[in-house]
Each structure stands twice: as C-alpha cells, then as structure tokens.
Structure 1
Amino acid sequence: MLLVLLLIWRNKFKWCGSPLYGNQGSAGGIIAFRYTELVHATKNFSEKLGGGGFGSVYKGVLSDSKTTIAVKKLDGAQQGEKQFRAEVSSIGLIQHINLVKLIGFCCEGDHRLLVYEHMLNGSLDGHLFKKSNNADAAVLSWNSRYQITLGVARGLSYLHQSCHECIIHCDVKPENILVDTSFVPKVADFGLAAFVGRDFSRILTTFRGTAGYLAPEWLTGVAITPKVDVYGFGMVLLEILSGRRNSPEIYNTSSSGSYHVEYFSVQAISKLHGGDVKSLVDPRLHGDFNLEEAERVCKVAGWCIQDNEFDRPTMGEVVRVLEGLQEIDVPPMPRLLAAITAQPGAAI
C-alpha cells in the first residue's frame, strides 16, 4: 500500500523527476518547493533547531507569507530517501491538531527536504529534562504535563484507529513530541512510520525505534502492531510524571565490583502498589499537582509497558482513561523489567 501511495503522490506532484512548484505544486495544501527557495528561507541553513540520525532541522521564514517554518534536511541517500517517503506518505495525507503539520517538501536532485510548521516551544525533552542548575528554566506545570499526555494520546489514537490505514509511528519519545506556544503537543518525525492495512493486524518491518522506548517484541523479530507505540507512550508518561529519563541506573552492591540495575519504571509501579505515587512526581513541582491525575497517569503507564502486547490498552482506551471516562485497575509489575532489575550483575 505504501508503494501505491507513493505512486499517487508521484502523479500529483510529478516529484523526483520534473517537479512542480509553488501553488501549482500543491495538493491538499502540500507544496513542492524549489531547493533554492528553502536555501533562501533558511538563510543557507544557518539556524539549526536540532538534529537526529537522519539529518538536521533548520529554522526558516517563507518570503511570501512570513510564515515561520522548520526545514528538515535529510542526510544519506538510501536511508534519507526511506525516511523522506515514509514521512510524506504518512503525515502528508492526514491532519490532526496533535500531529505536526507538513507544509511541503523538496525533492530535487539529491536533495530531500521536509517543510513543517515551526513549533516555538520546541520538543518536549527540552522542557522535561532541563538542568537543575539553570535558575531561569521554567518548570513545566502539572496542568501542562497532563494536557500534553492527553494530546499525544489523542494523536496516536487517531493514527491507529481513524486513518484510512493504521499508521504505527514506531518511535514515540519526548524528542518526537513538539509543543506550540500554548503547549499543545504535536507528534512529529514519521520517518520510521509503518502502515498496516485495515484487513491486517500486524506488519513485519526492519525499522527500530529508540533504546529505552522499545517494546519487547521489537527484540524478538516478530511482526509488530500499534502496541509498540503504546509501549513507547507508557515510557514517555513516566518521564512526564517524574521529569527524569527512564534510563537504567547502576549501583555498586559490593566491594567485589558487582552491581545492581534499577529501572525507574519498576520503581514507579512498586510505588504505585504501595500507594506512594506522590514521591514519583517531579520534585521541582513542589507538590503543586493533582494527585488523582498523577495516579491515573502512573496506572496507564504501568499497563502500557506490560511485556505482553495483549495486556496493553489501545490508545483509544488510554484517551478515555485520561479523560476520566473509564476506570483502570492497578497494573501488575512487568515481569521482564522486574527480572532484569532483580539480577545482580545482569547485562543491560
């Protein structure tokens, strides 16, 4: 189906051959840009907003509308081409308040660029994991955090359940969640997105997301389902709750050099079982948060990161729980994470 979508787009835009430009190159609001236009808009790619494994993102301004844009310049011919096609074929065909808006693209010669709406407040990780010694850094309020969790859940639910084809993002993490001036979240970076036809429930793909957010099934090589996004979302929830990374912490347990690995996700569910969610919440909030909502977030996160994909909720169910429309029980401890934590000297 991805090939069919690409052929449709090729016919609409005549891209990667004799591309059309400006208003003539637009369909459904997506514009085909000349490379020189984007060089001018970004002042020769002088202001870098961020980067990743596939390329870098630069700030720009469209000359005709004064619209501020974010231009992703893809690196690497083969992998860049894959990401380029995946992003245009997925986010280019849909619109949702909690999905980043694709304005246009450039496919000229060896150049592969994607043009997005610019999010003034950047990505979520920049707000969650600020240095504690930065006195000027504003702490993300609990209300903003909760609205972000709900918005991201709605965006992922739309991808999984409301599109013509189910779209699996495959790389849900704070770096891929952008926030606008009102801290409305936008799920971004669809370079690893996979399509699942409505007549199928899973898809086999070689794509992998980011360590720390990978569901166990990624490691076994089986065909994946939208539940891999649910797992990643669960890990993001714990980071929003605590304001800290989920990366494992290593403690020396004896003079012999053995060590103990501790995962925050295991600690969080242990605290939930003990009725002590309050101690998990970001201390920089100084107690200014809604305990009922915090417990709800922790419960949802615990179910989302279960080892067995069938034990995890759908994103639609997650939205209903976060909206307070559906109750949820206390989740069991994920056995895989608990087993790794319980093994002194275990490899990470």
Structure 2
Amino acid sequence: MIAIKTLNFQNEEALKSLKRECKLLGRIRHHNLIRIIDAFFYPDFKGLVLHFACNGSLEKHLNTNRDDQDFSKLGLSEYLSITIDVAHGMEYLHHDCPLQIVHCDSKPSNVLLDANMTALVTDFEYGLGGNVSTKGDVYSYGILILEMVTRKRPSDDIFVGDMNLPKWVSLAFPDRLADVVDSEVLKDVNENMEDNRCLVSFIHVGLLCTAESPRERPSMRDVSNVLERLKTSLMGDATASNLTSTISDLLRNTDPTEALQSGSQSSTS
C-alpha cells in the first residue's frame, strides 16, 4: 500500500528546489519519518510516492467526534508513545541527518500513524537549510503535546487577546490541571498517583518547549531522553523521584540564566 501526494507548483525555481530536496530526502532512513519512495515531475502531474499510514493522521484521532466508532480513545501512555516517536524523528532531522533539516510545520496533521500506531513525521521537505532555527520546531513540538492533553487547538475561540494555548495551560500548572486537561486523559490517570505525576511531568515538558525565548527551549535530543525516562516511569520501572530529576536535567540543558528567570516567573504566577 502506498500514498500519493500531489503537488501543484507554478514557480519553476521552487520546483527545481523541491527536486533537489527530494533527491536528498529519498535517501533519509529513520523509522519515525515517512519515507519518500519515488517522485514524479511530469508536465501534467507532479507527486510524491510515500508509504501508506493506515491509521491516518494524529489530527483525525484528536478531532474525531467521541461518538464516532472510528474515534481512538487515546490515553496518556498512547500520547507519550506518539510524542516519543515524533521526538525521535525530529531529533534525527536536527542532529543526525547528513544535512540538518528544520521541519517548520510540526502539527497533528503532519503526524501519521501506521498499523501499529507508530508515529511517522511527514511534510518536512520544505524546511531544508536556510536561516530557520530548530528552536521553532521545538516550540511547535511543545504545542503538539499541549494540544494532545487538552484537545484544544491553538486556534480555538477561547484564545483571544494575548491568551494562547501555552499561557492557558501554564496558568493552571501544576495545581489546577483538571481545569484544562481533557476528560478522557483525566479518567485514564485519576486512580493512579504515579500516572498523575507522569502527566504533570509530561505537561511540564510541553511548557518548557513553548518557552517564549528560544534560548529557554531544550533541544529535541534532550526532549527525547526525558520522555523515554517518563515512559519508563509510567511503566512502573522507575520511582517517582526520577520524574523530578528528568525535568531538572532538561532545565540544566537550557540557558541557565533564562531558565532560572523562567522558573521565577512561573512560581510568581
């Protein structure tokens, strides 16, 4: 099974650039990145041949009506697994790819799920090179976490004026998270103290990634390491004290001065 993504390019220079990028991206191999199998650039048809992800996009699972029989009742463990997959894919693009690639458009519709619910990052072919920063990707990744646990889109009507998704969550963090976390996620963790701690830490990572200053945001490599340790805690293979150390490690790897200032502002609010 394959998927065909059709392209509509009017600009000849942009098309030439895409052709060059496809040659590079076709050689990229990572189990959390959608692979370009082939590309067609005929006069009357231009498209990419991709692996088919039978469970569709993460956006579909987040925004399908709860009464729909296709609705996936994803819980904290599923969210954590998906975000770890995405983090590994982004980490490869930022740190391990032969040429650093910045995604520039990380969002639920660009996360596809295969038959095993393994997450595959797609639509990263337009952020190759240039002056864009990986810290923008980290911010988008943080938004992805917050969107999953709250089931609120950044464009939701409740975000008016200077209110946005990260600020809305941060105002409830950590003592009033029941006011902002999705009811399905709350049901999933309410009876388990360890799961509650994992949820708080998971949201904390999302807030760190969406820090206002790019220098305060961690790298995707640090995020991957922290979330792997959170998953270990959620599976019962680590103590609750390890959760605190994971976040502390993440803070130590950001700019120390700005991280301290950020912490002070959070405690004040």
TM-score bracket, normalised by the shorter chain, equals 0.7 to 0.9
Report the CA distance shift for 1:82/1:144 in structure 2 as closer, same or farther (over 3 A): farther
Structure 1 letter corresponding to 2:8 = D
Larger Rg: 1
Structure with the bigger percentage of strand = 1
Q: List per-residue Cα deviations over 1:116-154 (Å, max 9, x = no partner).
A: 010000111000112245365232232211100111001
Q: What SS is found at the alignment partner of 2:39? A: strand
Give the drift of 1:278: 4.1
Q: 2:164 corresponds to which residue? A: 263
Q: 1:184 corresponds to which residue? A: 118
TM-score using structure 2 length = 0.77
Structure 1 letter corresponding to 2:122 = A
Is the CA contact (8 Å cut-off) linking 1:77 and 1:110 kept in structure 2? no
Report the CA distance shift for 1:83/1:100 in structure 2 as closer, same or farther (over 3 A): farther
Is the CA contact (8 Å cut-off) linking 2:7 and 2:47 kept in structure 1? yes
Q: What SS is found at the alignment partner of 2:229? A: coil
Segments of structure 1 that go 5 or more residues without pairing to the other structure are 1-67, 196-202, 205-223, 252-258, 336-348
Is the CA contact (8 Å cut-off) linking 1:74 and 1:113 kept in structure 2? yes
Report the CA distance shift for 1:238/1:82 in structure 2 as closer, same or farther (over 3 A): farther
Is the CA contact (8 Å cut-off) linking 1:81 and 1:112 kept in structure 2? no
Give the drift of 1:247: 1.8
Q: 2:207 corresponds to which residue? A: 302
Give the drift of 1:190: 2.2
Report the CA distance shift for 1:184/1:327 in structure 2 as closer, same or farther (over 3 A): same
Match of 1:236 among 144, 158, 170: 144
Alignment identity in percent?
A: 29
Task: Supply the distance in 2 between the matched residues of 1:261 and 1:133 (Cα, whole angstroms).
Answer: 33
Is the CA contact (8 Å cut-off) linking 1:281 and 1:294 kept in structure 2? no
Segments ≥4 residues shifted beyond 6 Å? none
Match of 1:316 among 200, 213, 221: 221
Task: Supply the distance in 1 between the matched residues of 2:44 and 2:153 (Cα, whole angstroms).
Answer: 37
Q: What SS is found at the alignment partner of 1:93? A: coil
Segments of structure 2 that go 5 or more residues without pairing to the other structure are 190-194, 231-244, 252-258
Task: Supply the distance in 2 between the matched residues of 1:117 and 1:158 (Cα, whole angstroms).
Answer: 19
Is the CA contact (8 Å cut-off) linking 1:87 and 1:193 kept in structure 2? no
How do 1:246-261 residues align onto structure 2 when only pairs under 5 Å count? Answer: 246-250=154-158
Q: 1:114 corresponds to which residue? A: 48
TM-score using structure 1 length = 0.61
Structure 2 letter corresponding to 1:294 = L
- Of structures 1 and 2, the one with the larger relative CO (CA 8 A, separation 6+) is 2
Cα RMSD, aligned residues only: 2.6
User: What is the number of equivalent residue pairs in this alignment?
Assistant: 233
Q: 2:75 corresponds to which residue? A: 141
Structure with the bigger percentage of helix = 2
Is the CA contact (8 Å cut-off) linking 1:237 and 1:298 kept in structure 2? yes
